[in-house]
Amino acid sequence: MHVHSYEKIWLALGLGLILLLIGSVTYGAVGPGVAMVAADEPTVDPTALDEDERFADPRVEQVGENEYEAYVVAYQFGFEPDPIVVPANSTVTFMVTSRDVTHGFEVVGTNANTMVIPGEVSTLTVETSEPTEYGIICNEYCGAAHHGMEGKLEVVP
């Protein structure tokens, strides 16, 4: 009888651990995804970008003395605007969304890199220094011409 009740305790403990594990896995899978959309990433209707104030006319806008916002649309197979022209020695926040499928937005040779998901706005802020030119590439497979999907970032004086 004694042994039997110990077994029950271990069984209950084991079951508890399994439930905990399932709980943490579920939380891990759902938690960050929800947080990204709700907290930092404003959403957007990918089928109505023409009606969106930010993305109807993809552009770079000055928002402060040395601060700019770049509204960028990724599509099969390019980026708009192209080139993206920003001033040297400034802070630029990119807001990137997709018109169709999931793309990537990577400024080659820098750590500026994000995934671009339809319906979400990916934001990333960079500091520019010297005038120069960067390539922009897509690093999420997005279709037949994925490897040719390129843009340009020009940092001008």
Footprint on this chain of ligand CUA (rule: CB under 6 A)? 103, 138, 140-142, 146, 149
Among residues 90 and 139, whose Cβ is nearest to ligand CUA? 139
Inter-CA distances, 93 with 31, 60, 123, Å: 25, 9, 7
Least gap, CB of 144 to ligand CUA (angstroms): 10
Residues 150 and 80 sit within 8 Å (Cβ to Cβ): no
Among residues 92 and 96, whose Cβ is nearest to ligand CUA? 96
Residues 128 and 89 sit within 8 Å (Cβ to Cβ): yes
Beta bridge mates, 116: 103
Least gap, CB of 149 to ligand CUA (angstroms): 4
Least gap, CB of 9 to ligand CUA (angstroms): 54
DSSP 3-54: HHHHHHHHHHHHHHHHHHHHHHHHHHHHHHHHHIIIII--B--GGGGGG-TT
Least gap, CB of 107 to ligand CUA (angstroms): 15
Among residues 49 and 138, whose Cβ is nearest to ligand CUA? 138
Among residues 68 and 72, whose Cβ is nearest to ligand CUA? 72
